[in-house]
C-alpha cells in the first residue's frame, strides 16, 4: 500500500517537475526543476529495487553534471525574449521528437510483453538474493567486458577531444612554476645587512 502511494508520489513529482522545467521562465529555475525530476526518477528506481542505479544517478547526474549545468546557466546572460520567440518555431519539431520517443516506449513495452530476445533472462529478471552492485559488477565484468571497456575508451577519447579543443597555449603569460616556488629557500631571496645610518640600502 505504502509502495503504491510512494510510487504515485514520485511519478507525479517527476511529471510535474519535468513540465515545470519547460514552463519555467527563468533558466536557472528550469535547471532546478530538472534536478528535482532527476531526484524523483532516482526515487522511482529505488522502488524498483535498483538502488545502485538510483544512487549513481544522484551522484553522477545530480551531484556533478547538473551542478556544472547550473554553473553555466547561472553565468549565461540569456535573452528571454529571443527564447520565447523560438518556441513557436521549434514546436513542430519538438512535437515530432516527443511522438517518436513515445512510440519507442510503446514498442519497447510491447516487445517486452511479447518476449523474444532472451526468455531465460526475462523469466527471472531480478535475483533478489545477491546485492544489486554485485549482480551488475558480475555481468559487466564477465559477459559485457569488451563492450564495457570499449565504452570507457570512447569516453576517454571524448575527454581528450574536449581538452584538445579547449586548451590553448597562450604566449606572453607567465604562469607559476610550483616546484620552483617550493625549491626557493629564504637564504636565496633575503640577506641580512648591518645597515649604517644615514645611507641608502644597496639593492
Partner 1 sequence: MTQYFQDSWMGYGFGWLFATTALILMIALPLMLAVAMIIYADRKIWAAMALRRGPNVVGPFGLLQSFADGLKVFLKETIIPSSANRGLFIIAPVITFTLAMLAWAVIPFGPGMVLSNINAGLLFLLAISSLGVYGIIIAGWASNSKYPFYSALRAAAQMVSYEVSIGFVLIPVVLWAGTFNLGGIIEAQRSHVFFLNGFGFNPLLFPMAVIFLISAMAETARAPFDLTEAESELVAGYQTEYSSMSFALFWLGEYGNVLLMCALNATLFWGGWLPPIDWEPLYWIPGIFWLFLKIFAFFFIFSWVKATVPRFRYDQLMRLGWKIFLPISLLWVFLVSGYLMVFRYGALS
Q: By C-beta, is 14 or 38 nearer to partner 1?
A: 38
Angstrom distance (rounded) from CA 203 to CA 192: 12
Query: Which is it for the CA torsion 161, 163, 166, 168, positive or negative?
Result: negative
Angstrom distance (rounded) from CA 52 to CA 134: 10
Q: Per-residue string for binding with partner 1, 13-42, x by CB under 8 A?
A: ---------------x---x--x-------
Please state the closest distance from residue 64 (CB atom) to partner 1, in A. Answer: 6
Q: Do 44 and 14 form a contact (C-beta atoms < 8 A)?
A: yes
Number of residues that bind partner 1 (CB under 8 A): 24
C-alpha cell at 171: 604566449
Name the segment binding partner 1 (CB under 8 A); options: 16-24, 98-106, 127-135, 160-168. 127-135
Angstrom distance (rounded) from CA 113 to CA 107: 10
Residue 67: CA count within 13 A, CB half-sphere: 6
Please state the closest distance from residue 8 (CB atom) to partner 1, in A. Answer: 18
**Residue with grid cell 533472462, as numbered in its chain:** 121
Tell whether residue 182 is a contact of partner 1 (CB under 8 A).
no
Among 56, 135, 136, 140, binds partner 1 (CB under 8 A): 56
C-alpha angle 65-108-3 in degrees, rounded to nearest 5: 70
Q: From its phi and psi, is residue 198 left (phi > 0), alpha (psi between -120 and 50) or beta?
A: left
Among 22, 48, 97, 133, binds partner 1 (CB under 8 A): 133
> Site residues for partner 1, window 145-174 (CB under 8 A)?
none
Tell whether residue 136 is a contact of partner 1 (CB under 8 A).
no
Name the segment binding partner 1 (CB under 8 A); options: 50-58, 95-103, 153-161, 186-194. 50-58
Cα Rg, the chain, nearest whole Å: 28
Q: Residues in the site for partner 1, rule: CB under 8 A?
A: 2, 28, 32, 35, 51-52, 55-56, 58-59, 62-64, 67-68, 70-71, 74-75, 131-133, 176, 178
Amino acid at each position: 500500500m505504502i509502495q503504491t502511494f510512494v510510487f504515485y508520489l514520485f511519478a507525479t513529482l517527476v511529471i510535474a517537475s519535468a513540465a515545470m522545467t519547460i514552463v519555467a521562465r527563468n533558466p536557472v529555475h528550469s535547471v532546478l526543476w530538472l534536478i528535482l525530476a532527476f531526484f524523483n526518477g532516482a526515487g522511482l528506481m529505488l522502488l524498483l529495487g535498483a538502488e545502485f542505479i538510483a544512487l549513481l544517478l544522484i551522484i553522477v547526474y545530480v551531484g556533478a553534471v547538473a551542478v556544472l549545468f547550473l554553473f553555466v546557466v547561472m553565468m549565461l546572460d540569456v535573452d528571454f525574449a529571443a527564447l520565447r520567440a523560438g518556441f513557436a518555431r521549434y514546436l513542430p519539431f519538438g512535437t515530432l521528437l516527443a511522438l517518436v520517443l513515445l512510440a519507442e516506449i510503446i514498442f519497447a513495452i510491447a516487445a517486452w510483453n511479447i518476449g523474444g530476445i532472451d526468455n531465460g533472462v526475462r523469466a527471472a529478471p531480478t535475483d533478489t538474493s545477491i546485492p544489486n552492485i554485485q549482480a551488475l559488477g558480475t555481468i559487466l565484468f564477465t559477459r559485457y567486458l569488451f563492450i564495457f571497456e570499449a565504452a570507457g575508451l570512447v569516453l576517454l577519447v571524448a575527454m581528450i577531444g574536449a581538452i584538445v579543443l579547449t586548451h590553448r597555449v597562450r604566449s606572453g603569460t607567465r604562469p607559476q612554476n610550483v616546484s620552483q616556488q617550493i625549491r626557493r629557500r629564504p637564504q636565496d631571496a633575503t640577506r641580512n645587512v648591518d645597515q649604517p645610518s644615514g645611507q641608502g640600502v644597496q639593492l
